Structure 1
Amino acid sequence: MLERALNKISAKSESDGCLLCYNAPCTETCPNGLDPAKVIRSIRFENISGAENYAKGSELCKICKEKSCIKACLKDKIDKPVEISKLMEYAGNLNKENRSKKKIGLNTTFCGLPCENPFFLSSSVVASNYDMVAKAFEMGWAGVAFKTIGTFVPEEVSPRFATIRKEGNSFIGFKNIEQISDHTLEENLEYLRRLKRDYPTKIIIASILGQNEEEWTYLAEKMTEAGADIIECNFSCPHMTGEGLGSDVGQNPELVALYTAATRKGTHLPILAKMTPNIGNMEVPAIAAMKSGATGIAAINTIKSIMNINLDDFTSEPQVDGKSCVGGYSGKTVKPIALRFIHDMKKHPYLKETPISGMGGIETWRDAAEFLALGCTNLQVTTSIMQYGYRIIEDLIDGLSSYLGERGFSSVEEMVGMALPNLVPADHLNRHSISYPNINRDECVGCGRCYLSCYDGGHQAIEMDEASGKPKLLAKKCVGCHLCMVVCPVGAISASKRVDISQINKN
């Protein structure tokens, strides 16, 4: 059988199957000294510039007879090895495309503080002690929102994580029932002191959670003394065990105002109010925070959730001695919800100039760029790090830097908020024209997915042509919903030019 070269879709699919190994054996065994692991990881995270750069010398893969990389691939222990040579060939051919090679520096300013790039660790287990944060800083992360510090050490449970998966993907949703830092206040203060001493140019955000006004003020004073650059008020943890903590505060504008003011009493530093998404209108508590002394907003924290129900024993995950509880949901699937809340705040007249540190489903540089385009000037990441490690910073930086260069931007700030004018109220949308789907019959493989979805979930505007085995559009039935386009697995359907409905009716 004739072997086919990979294309954009098949290369992404193949890279998705990689285990993303630590000390990847494909790289360790390559006789030519290449780094296929980095190439594959860059393709996986949509960093085409990085894949192209790391694939230099990939022409040697074509003549390599050893194929030691494929022999060493650990995925062979599961089903079959990754097509490493083909992925290297695909990446090597990318440099034939006529794209700008210019890279733009990612230095930004947030709450008046200079940052080497917009990427921070968010307040969570990924930022819970000195060694972890120091490693992240060494790898290129510009700052950290340290795991939430309180005056008490919570009792934790085991286990505390659960995931939701779809088809062949790694998990797309993540649930945790972890609380604030499990280190004492003095231990955490020492971590902050050491981090600021050893990494003076990195930005330290100290996340705090008090149980009353006095504690919010006291914690703010202690974080300031320890050398923090910013204080973040955790008004949004969805599963604290005490009443009046976490998201219970974030849903109550009066408490948000009270505790923000108490925090301001204890510090001169910028203050971020971290918002809960477990509310209808986030701008209400956000305004309360800003009026009471906050400098900016952090959003969103995790969403209250129940991950699943086991139909054998009717338990839920994470299962703690047969029981579970409502917990916080994060991961790639919450990104649309996070973007909606950020949009709502940036569109509000009172909040439009407010600095926002955005988070919620950032996995690739594209995700990050979307948050920037909606008005964020700083970005925080947790779940993707838990899944793939701190090393994702390489592709986040490289991908965003290359994108800015290709699009002609001279800085990160230039693209901040660029998408806001294109998001309008529903009654402002053009309802007088239609865009029909255009089916590329050469690219179509005849799987019939579009037909199934249109007939069973659309307007029965597609039929399968018996002669060709490929779909055919019935224009008189088509309403231009584009369901067919979003379900097509090979990208063979595109949008056509818009047509005025009145002209269609005349014909």
Structure 2
Amino acid sequence: MKKQQVIRIKEEAGRCLLCHEPVCNAGCPHGIDIGRIVRALNFENRVGARRRLPVVHYCENCDAPCVQACRRGKLDVPVRIKELFCDLFALHVDVPKTEVDLSVDFCGVHCENPFFLSSSVAGSNYDMVAKALSMGWGGVAFKTISLLDIREASPRFSALSKEGRSFVGFKNIEQLSDHTYEENLGFLRRLRQDFPGKVIIASIMGRNEAEWTRLAADMETAGADMIECNFSCPQMVEEGLGAEIGESPELVARYTAAVRKGTRRPVLAKMTPNITHMEIPAKAAIAAGADGIAAINTIRSIMNIDLDTFLSEPGVNGQSIEGGYSGKAVKPIALRFINEMRKDSALAEVPISGMGGIENWRDAMEFLLMGCGTIQIATAVMQYGYRIIDDLKEGLGDYLALRGFTHVQDIVGRALTYIVSAEDLDRTSIQYPCFVRNNCIGCGRCYISCFDGGHQAIRLDTDGKPALDVHKCVGCHLCILVCPIQAIEPGKRVQKK
């Protein structure tokens, strides 16, 4: 029953519009912060959601005026808040009584928590960053500062959606900060003065060694705690900039050394994923004086070609370009690159600031478990706002507390030993799927996928429910993945005959 409750909770909460000012709150006669609870559920923070429910189960006998107020009803059907909360009340969730210190030390800099805005439009002026830091973010990698004359295109964003979920993937054709050099230095100086306990990372990009050195020196003078070298922006108009640097270990080394010459602050080299082996330029950066690595930046992409006009998005006056792909879909790629760097003996102990597809605390945990010391986020902020920091911190803190960890560092890198080379995998045993027939609704999805894309190991009984042919099943678990109600589970592992 718990699994079905979790499915219902996730699906119904996912219908919420995540309004700026939830009108459902005003409709609650018991003063429950409905919007905040549903937002927590959207970001995988069930413990935080359960913590905010009152002790008394008011919802059970309520006529639910909150549902009538729900703005979703103007589109189709309101969020079924009463049923959602009844499921949440019935779901057993352990709520820790203690809090965990989320502070981390990264490249010798103390951070109050590991969550940073990554270098993007989400951190591109004083007011924006000040709001984010006031809401609890540990720091910011300010949008890349340069001496270039930046003129942005319009429009410059596009999103990939699937089954009602927008921003599964996100494309941007933005370049660097379009504020003047002096304006950007002014932003950094004000942020340093007004937020002395926060960490300010200045992202920079130069055209030659002299510019890289000057930029680094000026950022330190303005108050930056770290310097991040943007070796990875995929859509620069001039040759020898952005991702073209990150694809060349020689350029990475040359410009890292130039930055090192200009500053005593920790230096991060931000790597491009538009390359086969990121560890090669990463090692060049460390050898030339970088203190850590930031990875990954966006992936070169083309998105959403219109079948009538043949124009891809975003379309700028009848044209488009390759742009940077980000969002949830790139997370597996980011984790792969981080694993490869961590498995290289020359990079095994090098601090890494991880990014790429992080939306909630569970995503962040994956990066920490793969060996990242801090987390950077942009696309999720652009979709949901700075407020996601609430569930990021709460979710991470609750996870650590419930498992007896006292510091974030306790879990950093713990997943690395479980990722092995192909020849080390156990290929002598098989784990068959197990059908939970009481939960099965007889949709036949497992049968279709197994027959058309698997090994024809499933047949349907007279009641429309699946039965397994163990002589044909290879234990691939495709059926588990396609089951829409999670009525198929991993079974026992046995030795192959």
Aligned to 1:48: 46
Paired residue type of 1:188: N
Paired residue type of 1:282: M
Aligned to 2:480: 485
Q: 1:212 aligns with which of 204, 208, 212?
A: 208
Counterpart CA distance in 2 for 1:475 and 1:142 is 52
Is the 1:58–1:92 Cα contact (8 Å) retained in structure 2?
no
Aligned to 1:418: 414
Q: 1:6 to 1:351 in 2, by over 3 A?
A: closer
Counterpart CA distance in 2 for 1:199 and 1:28 is 34
Tell me, what secondary structure is at the counterpart of 1:183?
A: coil
How much does 1:337 deviate?
A: 0.1
Is the 1:58–1:88 Cα contact (8 Å) retained in structure 2?
no
Is the 2:159–2:166 Cα contact (8 Å) retained in structure 1?
no
Aligned to 2:36: 38
Paired residue type of 1:43: L
Is the 1:130–1:191 Cα contact (8 Å) retained in structure 2?
yes
Runs of 4+ residues deviating >6 angstroms: none
Q: 1:386 to 1:151 in 2, by over 3 A?
A: same
How much does 1:80 deviate?
A: 0.4
Counterpart CA distance in 1 for 2:263 and 2:89 is 53
Aligned to 2:17: 19
Tell me, what secondary structure is at the counterpart of 1:204?
A: strand
Aligned to 1:224: 220
TM-score (ref. length: structure 2):
0.98
Unaligned runs of 5+ residues in structure 2 are: none
Counterpart CA distance in 2 for 1:89 and 1:488 is 25
Q: How does 1:87-486 map to 2 (within 5 A)?
A: 87-94=84-91, 96-98=92-94, 100-466=96-462, 468-486=463-481
Tell me, what secondary structure is at the counterpart of 2:127?
A: helix
How much does 1:98 deviate?
A: 4.8
Tell me, what secondary structure is at the counterpart of 2:300?
A: strand
Q: Which moved more, 1:295-304 or 1:105-114?
A: 105-114
Cα RMSD, aligned residues only:
1.4
How much does 1:57 deviate?
A: 4.9
Q: Any idea what the Cα deviations from partners look like across 1:8-53, whole Å, max 9, x if unmatched? A: 1011001111100001111133222111111111111110111101
How much does 1:278 deviate?
A: 0.1
Q: 1:98 to 1:207 in 2, by over 3 A?
A: closer
Q: 1:59 to 1:272 in 2, by over 3 A?
A: same
Aligned to 1:494: 489
Q: Any idea what the Cα deviations from partners look like across 1:471-502, whole Å, max 9, x if unmatched? A: 1111110000000011111111111121111x
Counterpart CA distance in 1 for 2:473 and 2:150 is 57
Aligned to 1:62: 60
Tell me, what secondary structure is at the counterpart of 1:7?
A: helix
Unaligned runs of 5+ residues in structure 1 are: none
Counterpart CA distance in 1 for 2:327 and 2:294 is 17
Counterpart CA distance in 2 for 1:236 and 1:58 is 53
How much does 1:171 deviate?
A: 2.2
Paired residue type of 2:263: T
Q: How many residues align?
A: 496
How much does 1:407 deviate?
A: 1.5
Counterpart CA distance in 2 for 1:98 and 1:115 is 28
How much does 1:101 deviate?
A: 4.0
How much does 1:103 deviate?
A: 3.1
Is the 1:458–1:483 Cα contact (8 Å) retained in structure 2?
yes
Is the 2:47–2:95 Cα contact (8 Å) retained in structure 1?
no
Tell me, what secondary structure is at the counterpart of 2:459?
A: strand
Q: 1:301 to 1:500 in 2, by over 3 A?
A: same
Q: 1:216 to 1:234 in 2, by over 3 A?
A: same
Counterpart CA distance in 2 for 1:135 and 1:99 is 29
Q: 2:73 aligns with which of 71, 76, 83?
A: 76
Paired residue type of 1:495: P
Counterpart CA distance in 1 for 2:295 and 2:61 is 51
